[in-house]
């Protein structure tokens, strides 16, 4: 299986670095200047500074360099995925596409595999998700992820091709549950960051994580997924990592909301748009997702943290 990675952000670069252990690897960057810098200096100075690119890793900005590949990992932000796939549809035709992004599209509420199905219906699809930070993967630190695919034989082949001695993949056929876990944990991480930033304490964070996980299961069940999938790496595991570490952009974004500090507008915060998409869907479907709805209100600046917590704590008492 010949592999390549589309997207030279931190995560795409990290995947290309670790997968190059198994053979030649191609990493595509949209910006020709970035691709030139990476090829010349053998590091991604903008996104993953201090980590060397292996000799077997080729960096390019030319999509035709993907023609010889049969499997492509697509590591572009979820909100930009549709436009990118429409632009790159011809060179991607017939290739197996592995989505490496998390979230729900703001306009449609669709996840990565659903977007791929609409834009590239002829391409086999899979999803790589779970608890991971780019720097950990790039530095060869032990990481376990979920590989979701409805075709079991294809999933087994991808699992073998994408696993190595530090990156371990577990497979599932529940593509809806795996995608929702990766999307919704970012929303809950924003809530947790906001609570900590506002000085509400660790107990508040624990409550938000626990009740947020219940929301994740509730939405998964409504969409036809197996709620137990949300107890695995792509749900509970990813939630724990993202809601407790300052390496998480979503958690840091929540911290900035809680403290009132400015946040880098160039940083990708998938949970912000996902919260808005989830809140709109929940309202239309009559699903009770109070934490996700509160995060959407925070993102849209319709509520501050104090008002959001007051609204959550004043809800009717009930059985867990």
Same domain, 34 and 152: yes
67 in a structural domain: yes
Same domain, 169 and 187: no
318 in a structural domain: no
Q: What is the pLDDT of residue 210?
A: 97
* Per-residue pLDDT band at 311 (split at 50, 70, 90): confident
Which tens digit of pLDDT belongs to each residue from 194-219? 999 999 999 999 999 999 999 999 99
Examine the fold and report which residue of 173, 196, 228 is the final residue of a domain before the chain moves on. Answer: 173
Same domain, 76 and 169: yes
| Sequential DSSP letters for 91-150 | HHTTSEEEE------TTT---HHHHHHHH-TTS-EEEEESS--HHHHHTT--EEEEEE-S
User: Please, what's the largest Cα pairwise distance for the chain?
Assistant: 61
16 in a structural domain: yes
HSE (CB half, 13 Å, CA atoms) of 296? 19
Where in the sequence is the domain holding 93, given as residue range(s)?
3-173
Q: Quick check: 234 and 181 in contact, CB under 8 A?
A: yes
Same domain, 12 and 146: yes
Which CATH number does the domain housing residue 107 bear?
Answer: 3.40.50.720
Which CATH number does the domain housing residue 257 bear?
Answer: 1.10.1040.10
Same domain, 151 and 22: yes
Domain count of the fold of the chain: 2
The residues, ordered by sequence, that sit 6+ positions from 210 with a Cβ below 8 Å of its Cβ are none
Same domain, 262 and 150: no
Same domain, 215 and 276: yes
133 in a structural domain: yes
Active site residue 223: no
Using CA of residue 272, residue 171, residue 229, residue 201, what is the dihedral sign? negative
Examine the fold and report which residue of 130, 151, 173 is the final residue of a domain before the chain moves on. Answer: 173
The residue with tokens 């060179």 is 91
User: Dihedrals φ, ψ of 93, to 5°?
Assistant: -55, 125
Same domain, 169 and 228: no
CA 76/CA 105 separation, integer angstroms = 13
Rounded to the nearest 10 degrees, the angle between the axes of helix 249-259 and helix 270-285 is 80
Q: What is the pLDDT of residue 317?
A: 73
- Mean pLDDT, the chain, rounded, equals 95
Same domain, 157 and 226: no
Same domain, 143 and 21: yes
CB atoms within 10 A of CB 260: 10
Which tens digit of pLDDT belongs to each residue from 282-304? 999 999 999 999 999 999 999 99
* Per-residue pLDDT band at 173 (split at 50, 70, 90): very high
Position 55 pLDDT exceeds 90 = yes
The one catalytic residue among 185, 223, 283, 318: 185
Same domain, 24 and 169: yes
Examine the fold and report which residue of 126, 144, 173 is the final residue of a domain before the chain moves on. Answer: 173
User: Dihedrals φ, ψ of 150, to 5°?
Assistant: -80, -20
The residues, ordered by sequence, that sit 6+ positions from 55 with a Cβ below 8 Å of its Cβ are none
320 in a structural domain: no
Same domain, 16 and 151: yes
178 in a structural domain: no
CA 7/CA 23 separation, integer angstroms = 19
């Amino acid at each position: 299986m010949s592999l390549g990675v589309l997207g030279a952000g931190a995560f795409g670069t990290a995947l290309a670095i670790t997968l190059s252990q198994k053979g030649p690897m191609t990493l595509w960057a949209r910006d020709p200047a970035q691709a030139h810098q990476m090829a010349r200096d053998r590091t991604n100075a903008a996104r993953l500074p201090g980590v060397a690119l292996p000799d077997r890793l080729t960096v390019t900005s030319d999509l035709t360099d993907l023609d010889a590949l049969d499997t492509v990992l697509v590591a572009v932000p979820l909100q930009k995925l549709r436009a990118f796939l429409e632009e790159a549809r011809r060179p991607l035709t017939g290739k197996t596409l592995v989505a490496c992004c998390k979230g729900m599209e703001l306009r449609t509420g669709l996840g990565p595999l659903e977007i791929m199905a609409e834009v590239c219906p002829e391409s086999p699809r899979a999803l790589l998700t779970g608890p991971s930070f780019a720097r950990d993967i790039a530095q060869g630190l032990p990481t376990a992820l979920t590989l979701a695919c409805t075709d079991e034989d294809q999933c087994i082949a991808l699992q073998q091709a994408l696993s190595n001695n530090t990156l371990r993949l577990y497979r599932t056929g529940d593509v809806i549950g795996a995608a929702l876990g990766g999307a919704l944990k970012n929303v809950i991480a924003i809530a947790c960051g906001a609570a900590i930033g506002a000085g509400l304490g660790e107990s508040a964070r624990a409550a938000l994580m626990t009740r947020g996980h219940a929301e994740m299961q509730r939405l998964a069940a409504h969409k036809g997924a197996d709620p137990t999938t949300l107890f695995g790496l792509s749900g509970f595991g990813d939630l724990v990592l993202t809601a407790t570490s300052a390496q998480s952009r979503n958690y840091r974004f929540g911290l900035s909301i809680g403290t009132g500090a400015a946040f880098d507008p160039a940083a990708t915060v998938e949970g912000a748009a996902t919260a808005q998409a989830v809140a709109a869907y929940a309202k239309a479907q009559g699903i009770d997702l109070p934490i996700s709805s509160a995060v959407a209100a925070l993102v849209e600046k319709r509520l501050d943290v104090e008002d959001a917590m007051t609204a959550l704590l004043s809800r009717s008492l009930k059985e867990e």
